[in-house]
Copies of this chain bind each other. A is one copy, B any other.
Amino acid sequence: MDNKFLIRTANENDVPAIFALIKELAEFEKLADQINTTENELRKTLFGEDRFVEILLAEFNGEIVGQALFFKNFSTFLGKPGIYLEDLYVKPEMRGKGIGKMLLDKIISIAKERNYGRVEWSVLDWNESAIDFYKKIGAKPLDDWTIFRLTSDKF
């Protein structure tokens, strides 16, 4: 009865755990200085009236050890929605057990179920272990595209 893995949908009570994992991922990405939100703001966006982000949590023996946050995107070329995976994170001490793969497989099966056109996400170029993992499942890097960002101080 040990080693029980579970993937489930998050609910509002999970916000503190979700925020903790967001902060852990930011540390891992060496981007912790870019965190600029609070538990309350996060709760409002994720579980307020206008909710549009979906969250899967990975549990191991009842403890939350990883998460995936995603939302719909849209391809004009395919004329239909896809999934954009904003965060995929597994706690360092729980890696190598296939939890990231379980989360990603679940997302892919959701995309398939909904007849979506594709699944996309972004990865930091130095994160080689993630890149290897993504290539292994058949994902392709869009090497000839660059993301541009306009931050709110330029609005």
Residues of A with Cβ closer than 8 Å to B? 22, 25-26, 31, 34-38, 41-42, 45, 52-53, 69, 71-81, 84, 86-87, 108-109, 111-112, 116-126, 131, 134, 137-152, 154-155
Contact = CB atoms under 8 A, between A and B. Distances in A.
Given A72-B71, A124-B144, A144-B125, A77 B149 contact: no
A29 to B, nearest CB: 9
A79 B45 contact: yes
Q: How many subunits of this chain does the assembly comprise?
A: 2
A142 B152 contact: no
- 7 nearest A-B pairs in the assembled complex, by CB-CB distance: A37-B79, A138-B154, A112-B155, A41-B79, A142-B147, A42-B79, A139-B148
A122 B148 contact: yes
A37 B150 contact: no
A134 B71 CA distance: 25
Given A119-B155, A141-B147, 7 more contacts: A71-B72, A112-B155, A118-B151, A122-B147, A140-B148, A140-B149, A140-B151
Given A73-B71, A78-B37, A141 B148 contact: yes
